[in-house]
């Protein structure tokens, strides 16, 4: 096998397959290459533990954890050169898969578990770790039947931005030469750029252009606020997503910022009293408060409806996956699929679900609730975990954004309403509901990240069964580390708001604070904003009737415009470069397209590294955002203009180095 064959992605890697065409990964199904080795497992676990600790602290302090997959893939490439026998491409994929469990398990944990401490419910350390572990295992188990649908059947139809970046990092790192230099160059530029813009007061990260009188007037009089997060990571994400997906994605945020918020403001500003679920009159609310109190629920309703529709659409392929597994079980190896399409056995999956269910039932039983409540709690946990697995996989595959907070809010609301009707309330009720939410949130975070691993492995030629086995190792390591880290921080810090007489420092834990307020409100029999959920559901149904991607649009409703606008900028840049490559054609045109993807992947990789480094600085007591501050930082017209020009400079950099002819 030639070097070119082993180190280059096929031309149809990112394109829909034609009739009769099949995708052949870099490592063919017939090849035997090192995959699960002592080296790959040890390094994967070590990186998982390190990133779990750092991500837990960062997420609790500033509300932003560390996305570990891309940085770990880069570290895997570097570690490969330490050994006499260089670590293989598939071993690097195993290292990335195990290590990446850290970010997903921690994300599920910090959204919910700190709320148990702020509610003074003081969970036992075993309970804290178990919630993370059970949710993570359910997320892996429920995603496996969906693997073939998302990774194989939908080939070329979903952009998989993060999986693309990981794949390009691993492949280009193996390849070396000019493309590796280009990837490293883009990674270094983005790392420095995102590190300074998000860590210190060098120039503004978030642009709102309200120093322009007309824009400020729209914001003040109509609550029409435009914001733009000018960082390289998001621009690279938009490039990989492409123009069509980024347009639909941004359209949801445009509806929120320029239709829903102004309409709610227009009618609500004439009402002096607070309108539920808000706690103050709408006339006193900013645009961000209107989104938080009203529009967010519309987004949750839209996402929930989109995920129901997505599950219905994928049922045929999921059933087919179970059918293949059952045939393998009945007829042995004769019916087994090829190595690159082989999952762990259906018996192992079912056994894992049964064991997990029994463990969850025992956990709930120790909370001294009735058998009816125990059965309901178990059913809700399994139902939501399975239900939201498809949501998370779809969301990550299209936009690389997991709607974890929205789905967790929906879990809390429905669980609280159902369990209240069976008499569960008070502190036991709040603990019970938050435990369900913690498991579900961890499950959907893990499943969303895991589909990224499986898709990257599909492009490279990994064995799905091998990736699935080691993912449990990563989940166990991350659950224990994240649980112990949260327990330690709970003894040293206060989560959320300061308690009277408590002199400990505060970790904001913003997502958990929201979940706490939600569960307290519902367990105190406050009304549910069904109308807002219903509006979101109707929006999704309208999109489906028009034949559009409702999930991407629904995510846009939920996420702020400041995130989706730079995604759209990246999508436009991708469109222009791809048009240029089509116009030139031939090998030169293919080179332009390939260099564009490599540069965008470098921006995502570098942006992630810069974000990780910036978040890690929060671990040190000497860190302050104004430690490095430019003279013009507080001058909005100058600071925002500089930021806008630098962002445009990034776009020009990608354009110039994409269309630039390679030296022969």
pLDDT tens digits for range 230-259: 888 888 878 877 888 889 889 999 999 999
pLDDT at position 328 is 47
> Pick the residue with more confidence: 233 or 483?
483
Q: Taking CA 248 as the corner, what is the angle to CA 244 and CA 253, rounded to the nearest 5 degrees?
A: 145
pLDDT at position 517 is 66
Task: Flag whether the pTM goes above 0.85.
Answer: no
Instruction: Tell me what the mean pLDDT of segment 45-64 comes to.
Output: 74
CA–CA gap between residue 300 and residue 534 (Å, rounded) = 10
Q: Is the pLDDT of residue 331 over 50?
A: no
What the block records as the tokens of 330 is 């009945």
pLDDT at position 333 is 44
Q: Is the pLDDT of residue 587 over 80?
A: no
**What is the band of 648 on the pLDDT scale with cuts at 50, 70, 90?**
very high
pLDDT at position 604 is 75
Characterize the bridge pairing of strands 228-229 and 206-207: antiparallel
Instruction: Tell me what the mean pLDDT of segment 385-391 comes to.
Output: 83
- CA 390, 433, 57, 234 dihedral sign is positive
Q: Is the pLDDT of residue 500 over 90?
A: no
- pLDDT winner (highest mean) among 23-37, 272-286, 497-511, 635-649: 635-649
Residue pair 317/148 in contact by the 8 Å Cβ criterion = yes
So where are the chain's domains?
33-659
Give backbone dihedrals phi and psi of 241, rounded to 5 degrees, phi first: -65, -35
Among the listed residues 246, 250, 234, the one whose alpha carbon sits nearest the alpha carbon of residue 197: 234
Q: What is the 3-state secondary structure (H, E, C) of 76-114?
A: HHHHHCCCCCCCCHHHHHHHHHHHHHHHHHHHHHHHHHH
Among the listed residues 210, 191, 208, 207, the one whose alpha carbon sits nearest the alpha carbon of residue 199: 191
Instruction: Tell me what the mean pLDDT of segment 288-315 comes to.
Output: 79
Instruction: Tell me what the mean pLDDT of segment 68-78 comes to.
Output: 78
Instruction: Tell me what the mean pLDDT of segment 475-480 comes to.
Output: 94
CA–CA gap between residue 471 and residue 348 (Å, rounded) = 14
CA–CA gap between residue 234 and residue 610 (Å, rounded) = 13
Instruction: Tell me what the mean pLDDT of segment 274-300 comes to.
Output: 86
pLDDT tens digits for range 176-202: 556 667 777 888 898 899 888 878 888
Indicate the range of 61-70, 110-119, 247-256 predicted with least confidence.
Answer: 61-70
Residues 6+ apart with CB under 8 A from 661: 588
Instruction: Tell me what the mean pLDDT of segment 280-298 comes to.
Output: 88
Residue 153 carries which DSSP code?
A: I
pLDDT at position 300 is 77
Among the listed residues 306, 265, 220, 361, the one whose alpha carbon sits nearest the alpha carbon of residue 549: 306
Secondary structure (3-state) at 506: strand
Instruction: Tell me what the mean pLDDT of segment 436-453 comes to.
Output: 90
What the block records as the tokens of 447 is 């499943």
CA–CA gap between residue 300 and residue 608 (Å, rounded) = 27
pLDDT at position 362 is 93
Cis bond before residue 277 (omega within 30° of 0): yes
Q: Taking CA 85 as the corner, what is the angle to CA 37 and CA 101, rounded to the nearest 5 degrees?
A: 35
């Amino acid at each position: 096998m030639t070097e070119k064959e082993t180190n280059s992605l096929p031309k149809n890697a990112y394109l829909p397959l034609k009739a009769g065409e099949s995708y052949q990964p870099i490592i063919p199904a017939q090849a035997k290459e090192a995959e699960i080795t002592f080296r790959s497992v040890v390094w994967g676990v070590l990186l998982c533990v390190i990133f779990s600790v750092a991500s837990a602290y960062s997420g609790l302090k500033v509300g932003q954890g560390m996305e570990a997959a891309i940085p770990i893939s880069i570290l895997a490439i570097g570690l490969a050169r330490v050994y006499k026998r260089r670590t293989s491409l598939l071993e690097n994929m195993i290292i990335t898969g195990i290590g990446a469990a850290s970010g997903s398990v921690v994300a599920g944990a910090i959204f919910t578990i700190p709320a148990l401490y702020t509610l003074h419910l003081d969970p036992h350390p075993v309970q804290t770790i178990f919630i993370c572990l059970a949710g993570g295992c359910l997320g892996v188990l429920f995603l496996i039947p969906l693997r073939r649908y998302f990774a194989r059947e939908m080939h070329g139809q979903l952009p998989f931005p993060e999986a693309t970046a990981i794949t390009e990092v691993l492949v280009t790192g193996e390849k070396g030469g000019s493309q590796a230099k280009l990837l490293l160059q883009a990674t270094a530029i983005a790392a420095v750029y995102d590190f300074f813009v998000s860590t210190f007061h060098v120039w503004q990260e978030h642009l709102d252009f309200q120093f322009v009188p007309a824009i400020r007037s729209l914001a003040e009089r109509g609550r029409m606020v435009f914001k733009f997060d000018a960082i390289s990571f998001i621009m690279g994400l938009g490039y990989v997503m492409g123009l069509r997906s980024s347009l639909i994605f941004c359209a949801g945020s445009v509806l929120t910022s320029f239709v829903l918020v102004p309409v709610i403001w227009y009618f609500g500003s004439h009402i002096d009293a607070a309108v539920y679920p808000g706690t103050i009159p709408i006339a006193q609310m900013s645009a961000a408060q209107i989104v938080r109190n009203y529009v967010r629920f519309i987004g949750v309703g839209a996402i929930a409806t989109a995920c129901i529709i997505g599950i219905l659409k994928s049922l045929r392929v999921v059933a087919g996956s179970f059918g293949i597994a059952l045939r393998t079980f009945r007829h042995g190896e004769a019916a087994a699929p090829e190595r690159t399409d082989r999952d762990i056995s259906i018996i192992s999956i079912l056994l894992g679900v049964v064991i997990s269910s029994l463990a969850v039932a025992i956990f709930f039983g120790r909370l001294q609730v009735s058998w009816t409540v125990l059965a309901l709690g178990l059913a809700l946990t399994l139902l939501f975990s399975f239900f939201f697995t498809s949501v998370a996989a779809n969301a990550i595959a299209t936009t690389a954004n997991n709607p974890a907070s929205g789905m967790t809010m929906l879990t809390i609301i429905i669980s609280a309403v159902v369990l209240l009707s069976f008499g569960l309330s008070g502190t036991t009720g709040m603990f019970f509901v938050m435990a369900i939410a913690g498991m579900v949130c961890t499950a959907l975070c893990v499943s969303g990240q895991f589909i990224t691993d499986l898709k990257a492995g599909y492009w490279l030629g990994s064995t799905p069964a091998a990736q699935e086995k080691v993912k449990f190792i990563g989940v166990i390591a991350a659950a224990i580390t994240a649980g112990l880290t949260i327990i330690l921080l709970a003894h040293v810090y206060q989560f959320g708001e300061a308690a009277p007489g408590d002199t400990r420092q505060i970790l904001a834990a913003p997502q958990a604070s929201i979940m706490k307020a939600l569960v307290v409100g519902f367990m105190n029999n406050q009304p549910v904003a069904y109308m807002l959920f219903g509006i979101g559901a109707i929006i999704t149904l309208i999109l489906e009737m028009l034949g559009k991607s409702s999930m991407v649009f629904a995510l846009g409703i939920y996420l702020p415009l400041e995130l989706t606008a730079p995604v759209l900028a990246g999508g436009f840049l991708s469109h222009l470069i791809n048009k240029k490559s089509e116009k030139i054609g031939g090998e030169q045109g293919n080179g332009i397209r390939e260099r564009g993807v490599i540069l965008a992947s470098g921006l995502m990789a570098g942006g992630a590294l810069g974000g990780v480094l910036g978040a890690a600085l929060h671990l040190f007591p000497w860190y302050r955002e104004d430690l490095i501050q430019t003279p013009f930082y507080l001058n909005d017209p100058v600071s925002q203009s500089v930021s806008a020009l630098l962002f445009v400079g990034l776009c020009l950099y990608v354009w110039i180095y994409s269309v630039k002819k390679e030296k022969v």
